[in-house]
Amino acid sequence: MENQKFYYDNKIVKLFILATMVWGVVGILVGLVAALQLAFPVFNFGLEFTTFGRVRPVHTNAIIFAFVGNAIFAGVYYSMQKLLKTRMFSDRLSKFHFWGWQTVIVLAAVSLLAGLTTGKEYAELEWPIDILLALVWIAFGWNMIGTLIVRRVQHIYAAIWWYLATFLGIAILHVVNSFELPISLFKSYSIYAGAQDAVVQWWYGHNAVAFFLTTPFLGLMYYYLPKAANRPIYSYKLSIIHFWSLIFLYMWAGPHHLLYQALPEWAQALGVTFSIMLIAPSWGGMINGLLTLRGAWDRVRDSASLKFLVVAVTAYGMSTFEGPMMSVKSINQITHFTDWTIAHVHIGGMGWNGGIVFGMLYWLVPQLFKTKLFSEKLANIHFWMSTLAILVYAIPLYWAAVTQWLMWREYTPEGFLAYPNFLETLTQIVPMYTVRVFSGVLFLGGFVIMLFNLAKTMGAGSFVNNEASEAPALVLEGKRNAVAETIHRWLERKAVRFSILVFIALSIGGAVEIIPMIFIKSNVPTIETVTPYTPLELEGRDIYISEGCYLCHSQMVRPFRWETDRYGEYSKIGEFVYDHPFQWGSRRTGPDLGRAGVIGGPMYKNAAWHYNHFMDPQKMNEQSIMPNYAWLAVKNVNLGQTPKKIRAMQTLDVPYEDGYDAKAVDDLMAQGQKISDELKTAGIEIEPQKQMVALIAYMHKLGRDISAGVDPADATAAEPTTTVSDTTGLKQVTLLTNAEDLAAGKKLFQATCVVCHKADGTGIPPAFPNLVDNEWIKGNSPSQVFHSISEGNIAKGMVPYKTMFSEKQITQLASYVLTELPNENSK
């Protein structure tokens, strides 16, 4: 048969490689900033655009979609052409894919930093970008299927099965999860609410991991590992079994992100069981990879590329065992909401994805540029830095996770929470966050070394945009010979039928979980007392979403005693029916806010507390790592959009009365005025239409409705004044230094304070704090001590002395406590 001449498109591969290199630096750097922010809140820079809540989605999106995404496309465009012996189907589609994808990335970065987000993890991009993303993705798929059709190879190799599953999987996930109702170019609401939204979102979230971070990488492994090692694939049969079982089972496992949460039990059970069943199919990939290296291990020693690939496959094996274990309910209560999950994904991200990308690049770049790698030694250094970085990342965070979990559930012998203050459990693990920063530095350093190495390699080589090759035209075989050809072998030469089967395998899991959640009413039992958000609360909620509060605060109290004691009644499915989107969160860097609005509950704080806390969290709690949100007191709610938002909610079946949109702004202002008046009594001047007021209103709505039936007398008998101590902006106090005042202070101290704090100030720990050590619960500035004496802390037994002593006397006392008392003690 006569050979046909054709040219491989190497240029598109090069473009994607360059983009991978650029976005990799950006993604890791942003991750490093986020890590710094959690260790040292000063790195939030006091700007609204650079708070952790906005930076973190930029990191995740940059790593997943920009760095990993471009790397996938580079690997796919190169290997597909070689495996199918043809140029990509359409240069135009290739180009549109490349530039479209980079546009999506830039728009994503800008919009996320600007606070434009849907509030759904890993699907944060607003609707216009979602649409662009869908178009680009379709171009990719069209190009891929077109290339399959014009191929010159009879059978489709395993790597390409995985590429197909990637295209189809992501297409299904992205479309279903992105149904949003736009109210403007920059804002939309998820059409799903509460538990339904949660099921859809984590079906998406989990499978974005599957079909963006796993299946394409298995495809890359099936090409680049045997190429780099020059070994045959160990088992063709294993390829088939683990491919079909993995893509089918993965789609069911999403609810394992929602265990012990407000989700029907059957959905949780599917999440648990399908995750467990995923171990073997996942390990099938690892084994086929590792066994392919039999007889080539000596080469691993000499090749950084192979080293990366081996560590990648090993990390994949670890992650895919750890993941199912984390999906068992009893283990999930440890790993969920702690840093365990964060460590888990970084083993996957840095080890598996990073490893495959680096291993691929070290092999592919010299291939493309027809030269040798500039320095194998530098690549080795990169390998060791990278591997060390994974350990320095994961070990401290595992440690942190277990520590924090143990502290959350620790009880005193009396049966009360040993660490009732959430902050204590965070402060304990912040040193681990500092260690993590070093991991980021190592990983970034290694990456930069790779950039240098690859740039040098490119410089030394010669690159051909269009690489000539030739192969005979494909004559498709006819009917299946039932004896000589297995059904699967037959299917491998039927690209379209193969794709349809993949599509069906992918669709079943999501359909079985999502359709009943939406259409069977009993899955979401309603609660009569739960009311829609007022316009002000709705605006406040949008600010909460926009600032990415859900990235550190959950709104999901799980049915554990140690959670209900800390936060209040556990969350019920029916409470979230007006939540478009749901905001349950996935990590508690700060406390759960699901019951922040329950007056008399353990999480309730009054408006003035919230105001002061948003203005400067560190002033309220020195050790807090929350960024400040001072601009919320300056910026106005966009009242022009409020009626539109109400109408959008009505479209989504939220029962506002007809024509309520016309009254919404008046209602909003009236409610804002109330909060503004309340703040005034605490000496805070703020106009009712400020964003801060809306956010406070939202805080006070959270979880409140479920206890609406409670006798209001009970509510007031509970501790409404526990927060009074924090109401006013702190009075400026200057310490008194003359002997007379200090003597008066001493006299007062001995008359009043010694009962609890002892004459030498050492207190009766833990009930009554030591005043002469260096630890201060409420701060040790003159103003803070004055404040503590004056306002007290009724919940802890500290009496507010403002009614008994004059300000002068309190100042004398504070001066004595801060200046003479420690000296007396040291004598």
Partner 1 sequence: MSEEKNKVTEHDPVTDHEYDGIKELDNPPPRWIMLLFYITIGWSILYGAYFFWLKQGDHQDAEYVKKSAQHDEKYHITALSTDDMVAFTDEAALTEGKEVFTAMGCMACHGLNGEGNAIGPNLTDNYWINGCNIKDVFNVVKNGVPAKGMTPFKSQLSDEKIQKVASYVLSLVGTNPANAKAPQGEECKEESNS
Binding to partner 1 (CB under 8 A) within 707-746 occurs at: 717-722
Exactly one of 734, 797, 806, 824 binds partner 1 (CB under 8 A); which one? 797
For residue 640, give both structure tokens: 């022009």
Q: Is 99 in the site for partner 1 (CB under 8 A)?
A: no
CA distance 363 to 216: 18
Task: Spell out, one character per residue from 331 to 350, where the chain touches partner 1: x when CB under 8 A holds, - when not.
Answer: --------------------
Comparing CB distances to partner 1, the nearer of 504 and 754 is 754
Please identify which residue in 207, 592, 792, 821 interacts with partner 1, judged by CB under 8 A.
792
Question: Would you count residue 272 as binding partner 1 (CB under 8 A)?
Answer: yes
Write out the binding residues for partner 1, residues 43-72 only, by CB under 8 A: none
CB atoms closer than 10 angstroms to residue 685 = 8
Residue among 34 and 259 whose Cβ is closer to partner 1: 259
Site for partner 1 in 218-237 (CB under 8 A): 222-223, 226-227, 231-237
280 near partner 1, rule: CB under 8 A? yes
Instruction: Tell me how far the alpha carbon of residue 49 is from its chain's centroid.
Output: 17
Q: Smallest distance from the beta carbon of 280 to partner 1, in angstroms?
A: 4
Alpha-carbon gap, residue 682 to 609, rounded angstroms: 10
Contact call for residue 157 and partner 1 (CB under 8 A): yes
| Residue 767 interacts with partner 1 (CB under 8 A): yes or no | yes
- Taking CB under 8 A as the rule, does residue 203 contact partner 1? no
647 in contact with partner 1 (CB under 8 A): no
Q: Cβ closer to partner 1: 99 or 236?
A: 236
Q: How many CB atoms are located within 10 Å of the residue 336 CB? A: 26
Q: What is the contact mask toward partner 1 in residues 495 to 534, using x (rule: CB under 8 A)?
A: ----------------------------------------
Shortest Cβ 736–partner 1 spacing (Å): 22
Q: Is 759 in the site for partner 1 (CB under 8 A)?
A: no
In the region spanning residues 295 to 314, those forming contacts with partner 1, defined by CB under 8 A, are 295
Q: Which CB contacts under 8 angstroms, 24+ apart, belong to 516-520?
A: 517/195, 517/196, 517/199, 517/200, 517/264, 517/267, 518/192, 518/196
Residue 52 vs 337, nearer CB to partner 1: 337
Q: Do residues 799 and 757 touch, judged by C-beta distance below 8 A?
A: no
Minimum CB distance to partner 1 smaller for 732 or for 803: 803
In 3D, which of 129, 103, 105 has the Cα closest to residue 116? 129
CB 406 within 8 A of CB 480: no
Using H for helix, E for strand and C for coil, what is the string for 271-308?
HHHHHHHCHHHHHHHHHHHHHHCCCCHHHHHHCHHHHH
The four Cα atoms 679, 680, 685, 691 give a dihedral, to 10 degrees, of 30
Assess 795 for contact with partner 1 (CB under 8 A): yes
Q: Binding marks (x or -) toward partner 1, 574..603, rule CB under 8 A?
A: ----------------------------x-
Name the residue nearer to partner 1 (CB basis): 415 or 709: 415
In the region spanning residues 396 to 435, those forming contacts with partner 1, defined by CB under 8 A, are 411, 413-416, 420
Nearest-CA neighbor of 408 among 423, 397, 399, 419?
A: 419
Distance of closest approach, residue 666 Cβ to partner 1, in angstroms:
34
- Give the interface size with partner 1 as a residue count (CB under 8 A): 76
| Residue 683, phi-psi category: left (phi > 0), alpha (psi -120 to 50), beta (remainder) | left
Minimal distance in Å, beta carbon 805 to partner 1? 9
In whole angstroms, give the CA distance from residue 282 to residue 242.
7
Give the residue, chosen from 284, 289, 510, 540, that forms a contact with partner 1 under the rule CB under 8 A: 284
Among 25, 153, 176, 474, binds partner 1 (CB under 8 A): 153
Of 427 and 752, CB closest to partner 1: 752
CB of 306 to partner 1, least distance (A): 15
**Contact, 446 vs 37, CB < 8 A?**
no
What's CA 72's distance to the chain center, in Å?
22
User: Which residues from 546-575 bind partner 1, rule CB under 8 A?
Assistant: 559-561, 564, 570
**Bridge partners of residue 620, in order along the sequence:** none
What sign has the CA pseudo-torsion 513, 514, 517, 519?
negative
CA proximity to 271, closest of 323, 347, 231, 313: 323
In Å, what is the CA distance from 17 to each residue of 21, 24, 199, 421? Answer: 6, 10, 35, 48
